[in-house]
Amino acid sequence: MKFRKVSAAVAVVLTVGLAASACGKNDDDKASGGSGGGKKITIGIKFDQPGLGQKLPSGKFAGFDVDVATYVAKALGYKTNQIVWKEAKSADRETMLERGDVDFIAASYSITDEREAKVDFAGPYLLAHQDILVRSDEKEINDPKDLNSKRLCSVTGSTSAQNIKKELAPKAQLQEYGGYSECLTGLENKAVDALTTDDSILAGYAAQKEFQGKFKLAGFKMTNENYGIGVKKGSDLKDKINDALKKMVDDKSWDKAVQDNFGPANYKNEPAPAIGDVKK
Protein backbone atom coordinates (compact mmCIF):
# COMPACT_ATOMS: atom_id res chain seq x y z
CA MET A 1 0.00 0.00 0.00
CA LYS A 2 2.80 2.40 0.89
CA PHE A 3 4.55 1.67 -2.41
CA ARG A 4 1.35 2.44 -4.31
CA LYS A 5 0.86 5.75 -2.46
CA VAL A 6 4.43 6.84 -3.11
CA SER A 7 4.17 5.86 -6.78
CA ALA A 8 0.94 7.82 -7.17
CA ALA A 9 2.51 10.87 -5.54
CA VAL A 10 5.54 10.68 -7.81
CA ALA A 11 3.28 10.37 -10.85
CA VAL A 12 1.39 13.50 -9.87
CA VAL A 13 4.62 15.46 -9.38
CA LEU A 14 5.99 14.28 -12.73
CA THR A 15 2.76 15.15 -14.51
CA VAL A 16 2.68 18.65 -13.04
CA GLY A 17 6.34 19.15 -13.80
CA LEU A 18 5.99 18.08 -17.42
CA ALA A 19 2.96 20.29 -17.91
CA ALA A 20 4.79 23.29 -16.48
CA SER A 21 7.81 22.54 -18.66
CA ALA A 22 5.64 22.32 -21.78
CA CYS A 23 3.95 25.64 -21.01
CA GLY A 24 7.29 27.28 -20.42
CA LYS A 25 8.62 26.08 -23.76
CA ASN A 26 5.65 27.43 -25.66
CA ASP A 27 5.92 30.80 -23.94
CA ASP A 28 9.65 31.06 -24.56
CA ASP A 29 9.44 30.08 -28.21
CA LYS A 30 6.90 32.81 -28.96
CA ALA A 31 7.94 36.41 -29.47
CA SER A 32 6.40 37.33 -26.12
CA GLY A 33 4.25 40.04 -27.65
CA GLY A 34 7.25 41.53 -29.40
CA SER A 35 9.21 42.18 -26.19
CA GLY A 36 12.22 40.20 -27.36
CA GLY A 37 11.83 37.84 -24.40
CA GLY A 38 11.25 34.71 -26.44
CA LYS A 39 13.87 32.37 -27.83
CA LYS A 40 12.80 32.78 -31.46
CA ILE A 41 11.15 35.34 -33.69
CA THR A 42 9.61 34.27 -37.00
CA ILE A 43 9.84 36.71 -39.90
CA GLY A 44 8.24 36.44 -43.33
CA ILE A 45 10.34 37.45 -46.36
CA LYS A 46 10.52 36.70 -50.05
CA PHE A 47 12.86 33.85 -50.97
CA ASP A 48 13.12 34.64 -54.69
CA GLN A 49 13.75 38.39 -55.04
CA PRO A 50 17.46 39.20 -55.47
CA GLY A 51 18.40 42.43 -53.73
CA LEU A 52 15.31 42.30 -51.49
CA GLY A 53 14.74 38.83 -50.10
CA GLN A 54 16.56 35.80 -51.46
CA LYS A 55 17.47 32.37 -50.15
CA LEU A 56 21.00 31.68 -51.35
CA PRO A 57 22.34 28.25 -52.36
CA SER A 58 24.26 28.25 -49.07
CA GLY A 59 20.97 28.39 -47.18
CA LYS A 60 21.62 31.92 -45.96
CA PHE A 61 19.35 34.87 -46.71
CA ALA A 62 20.25 38.21 -48.28
CA GLY A 63 18.65 41.43 -49.50
CA PHE A 64 17.45 44.84 -48.36
CA ASP A 65 14.29 43.47 -46.72
CA VAL A 66 16.43 40.88 -44.92
CA ASP A 67 18.79 43.58 -43.64
CA VAL A 68 15.87 45.73 -42.46
CA ALA A 69 14.15 42.77 -40.78
CA THR A 70 17.40 41.67 -39.10
CA TYR A 71 18.00 45.18 -37.73
CA VAL A 72 14.44 45.31 -36.39
CA ALA A 73 14.72 41.87 -34.79
CA LYS A 74 17.96 42.87 -33.03
CA ALA A 75 16.33 46.10 -31.81
CA LEU A 76 13.54 43.92 -30.36
CA GLY A 77 16.14 41.94 -28.42
CA TYR A 78 16.83 38.96 -30.68
CA LYS A 79 20.16 37.67 -31.94
CA THR A 80 20.68 36.59 -35.54
CA ASN A 81 20.54 32.91 -34.61
CA GLN A 82 17.15 33.46 -32.97
CA ILE A 83 15.53 34.53 -36.25
CA VAL A 84 13.44 31.98 -38.14
CA TRP A 85 12.92 33.01 -41.77
CA LYS A 86 9.70 31.93 -43.43
CA GLU A 87 8.76 32.36 -47.09
CA ALA A 88 5.96 34.89 -47.51
CA LYS A 89 4.53 34.70 -51.01
CA SER A 90 2.49 37.72 -52.07
CA ALA A 91 -0.87 35.94 -52.00
CA ASP A 92 -0.25 34.43 -48.54
CA ARG A 93 0.93 37.44 -46.53
CA GLU A 94 -2.32 38.56 -44.90
CA THR A 95 -3.28 34.98 -44.03
CA MET A 96 0.13 34.29 -42.47
CA LEU A 97 -0.24 37.31 -40.20
CA GLU A 98 -3.84 36.59 -39.28
CA ARG A 99 -2.99 32.96 -38.36
CA GLY A 100 0.08 33.96 -36.37
CA ASP A 101 2.44 31.97 -38.61
CA VAL A 102 4.92 34.87 -38.42
CA ASP A 103 5.56 37.75 -36.04
CA PHE A 104 6.03 40.25 -38.86
CA ILE A 105 6.53 40.38 -42.62
CA ALA A 106 9.07 42.42 -44.61
CA ALA A 107 8.60 41.30 -48.19
CA SER A 108 8.26 44.21 -50.69
CA TYR A 109 4.89 44.62 -48.96
CA SER A 110 3.24 47.77 -50.34
CA ILE A 111 0.88 49.56 -47.96
CA THR A 112 -2.62 49.81 -49.47
CA ASP A 113 -6.06 50.63 -48.07
CA GLU A 114 -7.27 47.12 -48.87
CA ARG A 115 -4.41 45.50 -46.96
CA GLU A 116 -4.69 47.89 -44.03
CA ALA A 117 -8.24 46.65 -43.50
CA LYS A 118 -6.75 43.23 -42.66
CA VAL A 119 -3.34 43.90 -41.10
CA ASP A 120 -1.36 46.75 -39.53
CA PHE A 121 1.78 48.26 -41.05
CA ALA A 122 4.87 49.76 -39.49
CA GLY A 123 6.79 52.16 -41.68
CA PRO A 124 6.99 52.76 -44.54
CA TYR A 125 10.71 51.95 -44.72
CA LEU A 126 11.15 52.35 -48.49
CA LEU A 127 9.40 54.37 -51.19
CA ALA A 128 9.68 52.47 -54.46
CA HIS A 129 8.10 53.23 -57.84
CA GLN A 130 6.94 51.25 -60.81
CA ASP A 131 9.62 51.59 -63.45
CA ILE A 132 11.08 49.75 -66.42
CA LEU A 133 14.42 48.05 -66.96
CA VAL A 134 16.05 48.28 -70.39
CA ARG A 135 19.35 47.28 -71.92
CA SER A 136 22.21 49.62 -71.03
CA ASP A 137 22.57 50.73 -74.67
CA GLU A 138 18.84 51.53 -75.10
CA LYS A 139 18.32 55.01 -76.62
CA GLU A 140 14.77 54.95 -78.01
CA ILE A 141 12.80 54.60 -74.76
CA ASN A 142 12.99 57.93 -72.95
CA ASP A 143 9.39 58.27 -71.82
CA PRO A 144 6.63 55.76 -70.92
CA LYS A 145 4.84 56.68 -74.17
CA ASP A 146 7.86 55.39 -76.09
CA LEU A 147 6.78 51.89 -75.05
CA ASN A 148 4.07 52.01 -77.71
CA SER A 149 4.86 49.26 -80.24
CA LYS A 150 7.67 48.01 -77.97
CA ARG A 151 7.73 44.51 -76.48
CA LEU A 152 7.04 44.92 -72.76
CA CYS A 153 7.65 42.02 -70.41
CA SER A 154 6.23 41.27 -66.97
CA VAL A 155 5.33 38.16 -65.00
CA THR A 156 2.01 36.42 -65.53
CA GLY A 157 -0.70 37.97 -63.36
CA SER A 158 1.21 41.17 -62.63
CA THR A 159 -0.69 44.45 -62.75
CA SER A 160 2.41 46.47 -63.65
CA ALA A 161 2.31 45.90 -67.41
CA GLN A 162 -1.47 46.31 -67.46
CA ASN A 163 -1.06 49.73 -65.80
CA ILE A 164 1.23 50.83 -68.61
CA LYS A 165 -1.06 49.52 -71.37
CA LYS A 166 -4.13 51.10 -69.81
CA GLU A 167 -2.73 54.50 -68.89
CA LEU A 168 0.48 55.27 -70.75
CA ALA A 169 1.23 53.10 -73.77
CA PRO A 170 -1.88 51.27 -75.05
CA LYS A 171 -0.03 49.92 -78.08
CA ALA A 172 2.74 48.26 -76.08
CA GLN A 173 3.11 44.59 -76.96
CA LEU A 174 2.67 42.83 -73.64
CA GLN A 175 4.58 39.58 -73.17
CA GLU A 176 4.03 37.69 -69.92
CA TYR A 177 6.58 35.18 -68.65
CA GLY A 178 6.55 32.87 -65.67
CA GLY A 179 9.15 34.80 -63.70
CA TYR A 180 11.34 37.88 -63.73
CA SER A 181 14.42 35.80 -64.51
CA GLU A 182 12.80 34.76 -67.79
CA CYS A 183 12.05 38.39 -68.60
CA LEU A 184 15.68 39.29 -67.92
CA THR A 185 16.88 36.56 -70.25
CA GLY A 186 14.47 37.83 -72.91
CA LEU A 187 15.71 41.38 -72.38
CA GLU A 188 19.33 40.30 -72.64
CA ASN A 189 18.62 38.32 -75.81
CA LYS A 190 16.54 41.16 -77.32
CA ALA A 191 13.39 39.07 -77.35
CA VAL A 192 11.75 41.90 -75.39
CA ASP A 193 12.56 45.61 -75.13
CA ALA A 194 11.70 46.38 -71.51
CA LEU A 195 10.75 44.75 -68.22
CA THR A 196 8.41 46.45 -65.76
CA THR A 197 7.75 46.12 -62.01
CA ASP A 198 8.86 48.02 -58.87
CA ASP A 199 12.18 49.80 -59.36
CA SER A 200 13.56 48.18 -56.18
CA ILE A 201 12.92 44.71 -57.61
CA LEU A 202 14.44 45.71 -60.95
CA ALA A 203 17.48 47.17 -59.18
CA GLY A 204 17.90 43.99 -57.19
CA TYR A 205 18.10 41.91 -60.34
CA ALA A 206 20.31 44.38 -62.20
CA ALA A 207 22.73 44.42 -59.24
CA GLN A 208 23.43 40.69 -59.54
CA LYS A 209 26.97 39.91 -60.71
CA GLU A 210 25.86 38.18 -63.91
CA PHE A 211 23.82 41.24 -64.95
CA GLN A 212 25.97 44.16 -63.81
CA GLY A 213 26.47 46.68 -66.62
CA LYS A 214 23.95 45.01 -68.93
CA PHE A 215 20.81 46.86 -67.86
CA LYS A 216 19.66 50.25 -66.56
CA LEU A 217 16.55 51.65 -64.92
CA ALA A 218 14.67 54.27 -66.92
CA GLY A 219 13.70 56.25 -63.81
CA PHE A 220 10.07 56.86 -64.88
CA LYS A 221 8.53 56.59 -61.36
CA MET A 222 5.08 55.70 -62.65
CA THR A 223 3.52 54.76 -59.28
CA ASN A 224 4.33 55.05 -55.58
CA GLU A 225 4.94 51.80 -53.72
CA ASN A 226 5.28 52.33 -49.96
CA TYR A 227 6.96 49.25 -48.47
CA GLY A 228 5.81 48.58 -44.91
CA ILE A 229 6.37 45.87 -42.32
CA GLY A 230 3.16 43.94 -41.81
CA VAL A 231 2.02 42.83 -38.35
CA LYS A 232 -1.15 41.22 -37.06
CA LYS A 233 -4.03 43.64 -36.58
CA GLY A 234 -3.80 45.26 -33.16
CA SER A 235 -0.28 43.99 -32.42
CA ASP A 236 1.88 46.11 -30.11
CA LEU A 237 4.80 45.25 -32.39
CA LYS A 238 3.85 48.09 -34.73
CA ASP A 239 5.11 50.88 -32.45
CA LYS A 240 8.23 48.92 -31.46
CA ILE A 241 9.12 48.27 -35.11
CA ASN A 242 8.56 51.95 -35.96
CA ASP A 243 11.03 52.89 -33.22
CA ALA A 244 13.57 50.45 -34.67
CA LEU A 245 13.11 51.83 -38.20
CA LYS A 246 13.69 55.38 -36.95
CA LYS A 247 16.89 54.26 -35.26
CA MET A 248 18.04 52.46 -38.43
CA VAL A 249 17.71 55.66 -40.42
CA ASP A 250 19.32 57.84 -37.74
CA ASP A 251 22.44 55.68 -37.36
CA LYS A 252 22.87 55.38 -41.18
CA SER A 253 22.34 51.61 -41.21
CA TRP A 254 19.48 52.21 -43.66
CA ASP A 255 21.80 53.98 -46.13
CA LYS A 256 24.33 51.17 -45.86
CA ALA A 257 21.67 48.54 -46.56
CA VAL A 258 20.54 50.43 -49.68
CA GLN A 259 24.10 50.71 -50.98
CA ASP A 260 24.97 47.09 -50.19
CA ASN A 261 21.96 45.67 -52.02
CA PHE A 262 21.21 48.14 -54.82
CA GLY A 263 24.46 50.04 -55.34
CA PRO A 264 25.77 48.05 -58.33
CA ALA A 265 22.55 48.88 -60.24
CA ASN A 266 23.01 52.66 -59.74
CA TYR A 267 19.58 52.72 -58.13
CA LYS A 268 18.52 56.32 -57.48
CA ASN A 269 16.50 55.60 -54.37
CA GLU A 270 14.24 58.03 -52.58
CA PRO A 271 15.37 59.23 -49.13
CA ALA A 272 14.17 57.14 -46.23
CA PRO A 273 10.47 57.98 -45.74
CA ALA A 274 9.18 59.35 -42.46
CA ILE A 275 7.20 56.90 -40.38
CA GLY A 276 3.53 57.11 -41.32
CA ASP A 277 4.19 59.15 -44.46
CA VAL A 278 2.47 57.02 -47.10
CA LYS A 279 2.70 58.62 -50.55
CA LYS A 280 -0.39 58.01 -52.65
Highest mean pLDDT pick, 155-159, 218-222, 264-268: 218-222
Averaged pLDDT, 90-99: 95
pLDDT confidence of residue 38: 59
More confident residue, 31 or 157: 157
The Cα-based distances of 55 to 86, 215, 262, 265 in angstroms read: 10, 23, 17, 20
Using alpha carbons, select from 280, 279, 259 the residue that is nearest to residue 269. 259
β pairing state of 53-55 and 48-49: antiparallel
Backbone φ and ψ of 95, nearest 5°: -65, -40
Cα separation, 103 vs 119, whole angstroms: 12
Q: Indicate the average pLDDT of the chain.
A: 88
* pTM recorded for the entire structure: 0.82
Cα separation, 125 vs 53, whole angstroms: 15
Class of domain 38-128+225-265: alpha beta
Q: How do residues 171-225 score in pLDDT, each as one tens digit?
A: 999 999 988 889 999 999 999 999 999 999 999 999 999 999 999 999 999 999 9
pLDDT confidence of residue 30: 53
Cα separation, 205 vs 34, whole angstroms: 33
Q: Please, which pLDDT band fits residue 159 given cuts at 50, 70 and 90?
A: confident
Q: How do residues 101-114 score in pLDDT, each as one tens digit?
A: 999 999 999 999 99
Instruction: Give the DSSP per-residue string, the chain.
Output: -HHHHHHHHHHHHHHHHHHHHHHHHHHHHS-GGGTS-SS-EEEEE-SEETTTEEE-TTS-EESHHHHHHHHHHHHTT--GGGEEEEE--GGGHHHHHHHTS-SEE-SS-B--HHHHTTEEEEEEEEEEEEEEEEETT--S--SGGGGTTSEEEEETT-SHHHHHHHHT-TT-EEEEESSHHHHHHHHHTTS-SEEEEEHHHHHHHHTSTTTTTTEEE-----SEEEEEEEEETT-THHHHHHHHHHHHHHTTHHHHHHHHHHGGGT--PPPPPPTT----
Start-to-end C-alpha separation, the chain: 78
- Say if residue 10's pLDDT is above 50: no
pLDDT confidence of residue 45: 98
For the chain, give every domain's residue range: 38-128+225-265, 129-217
- Could you confirm whether domain 129-217 is CATH 3.40.50.10680? no
Q: Please, which pLDDT band fits residue 31 given cuts at 50, 70 and 90?
A: low
Q: Please, which pLDDT band fits residue 133 given cuts at 50, 70 and 90?
A: very high
More confident residue, 178 or 233: 233
Averaged pLDDT, 45-55: 95
Averaged pLDDT, 84-88: 97
Q: How do residues 16-29 score in pLDDT, each as one tens digit?
A: 343 433 443 344 44
Using alpha carbons, select from 147, 151, 150, 153 the residue that is nearest to residue 181. 153
Residues 6+ apart with CB under 8 A from 250: none
Q: What percent of the chain has pLDDT over 90?
A: 76
